[in-house]
Amino acid sequence: MISQDTRLTPAPNTSLDRPLHSVTAPPFTNPSGSRQGEFHDILKAILRRKWLIAAIVAIVTTAVAVHVFSLPSIYEAAGTLRLEARSSTFVQDGRGGYQSYNNSDYTNTQIKLLSNPQLMRQVALTLDLKHNPDFLGDQKTTDLLSNIRKLFVRRSNALAETKPVQLIRVENRVEDLSPEQSAELEPYVGVLLSNLKIEPQEETSLVGVRFTHTNPELARQVVDTLLRIFIANENQYDTKGSSAASETLSKQVADLQIKIRQQEEERLNYLRTHNLPLGEGQGRNLTADRLGTLSGQLLAVENERKQIEANYESARAAKDIWSVPQVKDSKDVQEARKIIRDLEQKRAALLQIYTSEWPEVKKINSEIAELNSSIEKSANETISSMKSSLDAARARENKLRAAYFKEQGAANGQSQDQIAISNLTQQIETSKQLYLTLFQRQKEMEINATDKTDRVSIATPAALPTAPIGPPRLSKVAIAFVVSLFAGLGLAILLHQLDNTLKSVDDISNYTYLPTLALIPAVGGKRLSLRGRNPFKNKESEGTALALTRDVRSPSAEAYRHLRTSLLFTSTGHAPKTILVTSGRPFEGKTTTAVNTAITFAQSGADVLLLDCDLRRPRVHFHFDFTNQKGLTSYLSGQNEIDSLWHAPADYPTLKVLTAGPMPANPADFLGSNEMRRLLEDLRGRFTYIIIDSPPASSFADAGILSTLVDGVMIVVHSERSSRVVVQRVKQRLQELGANIYGIVLNHVDLQSDEYYSGYYSSYYARGDSENSVT
């Protein structure tokens, strides 16, 4: 029967775990040194992920290079147009009228017309682009090798001479196109507009027209055709406009004169039929004046009613009727009170001589009672008079309010009529302004009717381009290289900032304030080889912990010997006898560290016991290839003696292994029992060192219970898995229980990334091999 030990209580939390340098450090630190340390950490993170950065740069740069070299070469044809405007230019508007523009407006208008979709349709029809496969087909991308060959091979077919384009009059054809036919031209119109550039030259009347295409001859044809069609359209527009403008304007002027007379007559008739004043001025609008008078009277009566109502409500709410100001100020009440005071004085004088039964005294009392009754009646009459005044005020207010609303309705109707009149007046003014504008235009057109000079001409015809202008392949590849490089660096830095594992001695010191007992190198993919040889070439399976220390010259064996030395000097005066090995989470190398620590102590000739106290997932027996049918739990449950339970490995005569045994349902109760405490006390006298393997401390209470029974604890931390928060929580939990934490064993360390350890192991053992020495 296992007896439960209830003496486990948390120890007080102190700050003695802080390192000495954190206590004696000055209050100010060197900012430049901090920045230098951060820069060094970032540089190490970048070097650690250099292959990730290189992969991003290679993939992105290659993808962009493949894309840009798959693009065809682009040629640009250019021509120049001269625009000369008259002092006044007339352009027909959408309503059939004509508008006048100055030189600046004329130039801007022509620039806009140069990129008009209707003009693009004319160009597409003139060049018959629908049946030209080069216009849209050559815009497609090709494979990378074909485009690389195009860089060095002259495109003779693109530069070959073609027949000049014959300009045909297609304006009527464009206007007569059906919606289906216009839809068929939209892809060609879109390409023309997207590749066309209109560039007016400052302080001149010249406008540059540029068009880019993969076919140089086709680009020249588009520019040449565009300029010629635009000039033809402008000449046709001027001829057509000059012949019809004068007649159209004359008709519009005459129509506006008739329209203005009709609008003025309509406005006058509206004023008469709606009884509105024909003119403006004070006293002409009687409705508005009456509404203003009624509004003032209504406000005055409403204020008077509110005052009377407030006085009346105050009088009704008064507990003492004599406190009402209207009652107190009543002349009848004041006179009656004065008489009562005189009678009371006379009665007081008589009472000094006679008794209250004296006839004269009784007479005075009767008069006083009569006067009091009269005063009370007068007070009630005053209250009733206030009620009557309130009713009269309300009646006057209601009468004035009804008159006000009636007059307000009439005023609203009149306001609507005035809005209609304002609209009619505004229409008349607009018509007059339009009449003056058209009349002025008519006169200007008569003056300029004889000017027939062509205002649009070709200054520089389009030439055949000989060299491509794009695409900028090298610059895009260079930009992609720089962007991908910075993206890779940023990703590496971001991963470094998000990485909260403990990877170095500095991390352990900065985040846990605990010493680092040893650095255990990584094996497998990050194994540090010696002179090209595999240090783990023994017969044991590399999945067991024994392979790490089998080769005494391996970095792992040296690391565990360093751990043994660190443990021997953790206590002052004597070396620890019982050492608990735990971790924050599973799969951090806790059991492997415990096994190799015990082996390292046994290699020094000391009597060592390796005790597997991980009753939840025991793994010590697996590494030694022992059975786990009997073990610690068998002894704690009283089934076997301790001497019959441990195993003795053949390769290590001074090492004994006590496996966990069958897993119980309540491991914490077994480990916290008095039998467990007495067992450890007994084993202390029989072995020099006792290495105890326990479950992870952050998940179970087993490690906390055992930490109170041993001399000290060492925490195993995996450099790629252990979170800072988990290790800090484990440290805090063990210290709250009063455990003595020796330090941290940093497991699975990449020694190749550490300048000191990598160089030390490689050079040291290389010299050892050359001298045929054994360490």
Tens digits of residue pLDDT in 114-150: 888 888 888 988 888 888 888 886 554 445 455 545 5
Is residue 20's pLDDT more than 60?
Answer: no
SS3 98: strand
Identify the weakest region by mean pLDDT among 142-146, 221-225, 708-712, 734-738.
142-146
Predicted local distance difference test score (pLDDT) of residue 164: 46
Predicted local distance difference test score (pLDDT) of residue 743: 92
Is residue 540's pLDDT more than 50?
Answer: no
Is residue 700's pLDDT more than 80?
Answer: yes
Highest mean pLDDT of the ranges 241-250, 485-494, 521-530? 485-494
Predicted local distance difference test score (pLDDT) of residue 93: 52
Query: What is the average per-residue pLDDT within 669-683?
Result: 92
What is the rounded CA–CA span in Å between residue 245 and residue 92?
Answer: 8
pLDDT band at 222 (very low <50, low <70, confident <90, very high): very high
Mind listing the pLDDT tens digit for each residue in 500-513? 777 778 888 888 88
Mean pLDDT estimate for the chain? 76
- Inter-residue contact 775 to 553 (CB < 8 Å): yes
Q: In which region does residue 532 sit, left (phi positive, over 0), alpha (psi from -120 to 50) or beta (all else)?
A: left
Taking each helix axis from N to C terminus, what angle separates 31-48 and 473-498, rounded to the nearest 10 degrees?
Answer: 110
Predicted local distance difference test score (pLDDT) of residue 614: 92
Taking each helix axis from N to C terminus, what angle separates 724-736 and 505-512, rounded to the nearest 10 degrees?
Answer: 50
Mind listing the pLDDT tens digit for each residue in 455-481? 788 888 988 888 888 888 889 899 999
Mind listing the pLDDT tens digit for each residue in 302-339? 787 787 777 777 666 666 556 666 666 666 666 777 78
Is residue 156's pLDDT more than 60?
Answer: no
SS3 259: helix
What is the rounded CA–CA span in Å between residue 747 and residue 598?
Answer: 16
**Residue 736 to residues 13, 42, 152, 705, Cα–Cα distance (Å):** 6, 35, 78, 12
pLDDT band at 771 (very low <50, low <70, confident <90, very high): very low
Mind listing the pLDDT tens digit for each residue in 589-620? 899 999 999 999 999 999 999 999 999 999 99
- Inter-residue contact 711 to 571 (CB < 8 Å): yes
Mind listing the pLDDT tens digit for each residue in 621-667? 998 989 999 999 999 988 888 888 999 998 899 999 999 999 988 89
Higher pLDDT, residue 10 or 655:
655
Predicted local distance difference test score (pLDDT) of residue 135: 84
Query: What is the average per-residue pLDDT within 729-748?
Result: 91
Is residue 763's pLDDT more than 90?
Answer: no
Predicted local distance difference test score (pLDDT) of residue 165: 42
Identify the weakest region by mean pLDDT among 140-154, 172-186, 445-459.
140-154
Query: What is the average per-residue pLDDT within 200-216?
Result: 88
Predicted local distance difference test score (pLDDT) of residue 103: 66
Predicted local distance difference test score (pLDDT) of residue 280: 58
Is residue 764's pLDDT more than 70?
Answer: no
Predicted local distance difference test score (pLDDT) of residue 695: 92
Q: Who contacts 394 (Cβ-Cβ below 8 Å, separation ≥6)?
A: 305
Higher pLDDT, residue 151 or 79:
79
Highest mean pLDDT of the ranges 179-183, 398-402, 520-524, 658-662? 658-662
Identify the weakest region by mean pLDDT among 5-19, 416-430, 559-573, 666-680.
5-19
Predicted local distance difference test score (pLDDT) of residue 717: 93
Mind listing the pLDDT tens digit for each residue in 724-736? 888 989 999 999 9
Predicted local distance difference test score (pLDDT) of residue 149: 54
pLDDT band at 453 (very low <50, low <70, confident <90, very high): low
Is residue 535's pLDDT more than 60?
Answer: no
SS3 134: helix
Predicted local distance difference test score (pLDDT) of residue 772: 38
Mind listing the pLDDT tens digit for each residue in 260-301? 888 888 877 877 777 666 665 454 556 666 767 777 777 887
Strand 75-83 with 206-213, pairing: antiparallel
Give the total residue count for the chain.
Answer: 775
**Rounded to 5°, angle at Cα 36 from 35 and 40:** 115
Is residue 412's pLDDT more than 60?
Answer: yes
- Inter-residue contact 741 to 508 (CB < 8 Å): no
Identify the weakest region by mean pLDDT among 90-104, 371-385, 405-419.
90-104
- Tell which residue, 775, 764, 751, 748, has the closest CA to residue 528: 751
Indicate the pTM of the whole model.
0.48
**Residue 426 to residues 95, 259, 422, 423, Cα–Cα distance (Å):** 20, 13, 6, 5
Mind listing the pLDDT tens digit for each residue in 90-117? 545 545 555 555 567 778 888 888 888 8
pLDDT band at 536 (very low <50, low <70, confident <90, very high): very low
Residue 378 φ/ψ, nearest 5 degrees: -65, -35
pLDDT above 70: percentage of residues in the chain: 72
DSSP 8-state symbol, 673: B
Mind listing the pLDDT tens digit for each residue in 563-586? 999 898 887 767 899 999 999 888
Taking each helix axis from N to C terminus, what angle separates 144-152 and 50-69, rounded to the nearest 10 degrees?
Answer: 60
Structure tokens at 97: 């009228």
What is the rounded CA–CA span in Å between residue 91 and residue 497?
Answer: 67
Q: Which helix (H) or strand (E) holds 116?
A: none
Predicted local distance difference test score (pLDDT) of residue 705: 92
Q: b/e per residue, 593-621, with b = 16+ CB within 10 A? A: bbbbbbbbbbbeeeebbbbbbbbbebbbb
- Inter-residue contact 716 to 588 (CB < 8 Å): yes
DSSP 8-state symbol, 746: E
Is residue 24's pLDDT more than 90?
Answer: no
Mind listing the pLDDT tens digit for each residue in 420-437? 777 878 888 888 888 888
Identify the weakest region by mean pLDDT among 365-379, 523-537, 551-565.
523-537
- Inter-residue contact 676 to 670 (CB < 8 Å): yes
Higher pLDDT, residue 44 or 714:
714
Is residue 340's pLDDT more than 90?
Answer: no
Predicted local distance difference test score (pLDDT) of residue 232: 86
pLDDT above 90: percentage of residues in the chain: 19
- Inter-residue contact 349 to 364 (CB < 8 Å): no
Strand 206-213 with 196-200, pairing: antiparallel
